[in-house]
């Protein structure tokens, strides 16, 4: 992944998940999060996420 003020460029693929409703952890060093491979982070997925946020929906 490359990020600058002018672009965000991802190579291969990325995944996403919402952590809303997940229990807090007492771990202060690191936390392992297993991402569902079915939830690809794509342009359409980002549009859907933003629309859900705009309308107050859940992810």
29, part of any domain: no
33 and 19 Cβ atoms separated by less than 8 Å: yes
Q: Is 51 a residue whose pLDDT tops 90? A: yes
- Please report whether residue 26 resides in a domain: no
Dump pLDDT digits (tens) for 16-47.
Answer: 999 989 888 888 899 899 999 999 999 899 99
User: What is the model's pTM?
Assistant: 0.68
Kind and range of the H or E run holding 9: strand 8-9
Of the chain, the end-to-end C-alpha distance in Å amounts to: 24
1, 2, 22, 42 from 5: Cα distances, Å: 14, 10, 32, 20
Is residue 49 a part of any domain in this protein?
yes
SS3 3: strand
Between CA 49 and CA 57 the distance in angstroms is 9
What range defines the domain where residue 39 resides?
Answer: 1-20+34-59
pLDDT band at 11; cut points 50, 70, 90: confident
């Amino acid at each position: 992944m490359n990020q600058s003020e002018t672009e965000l460029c991802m190579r291969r693929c990325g995944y996403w998940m919402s952590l809303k409703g997940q229990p807090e952890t007492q771990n202060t060093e690191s936390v392992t999060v297993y991402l569902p491979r079915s939830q690809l982070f794509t342009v359409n997925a980002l549009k859907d996420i933003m629309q859900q946020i705009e309308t107050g929906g859940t992810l």
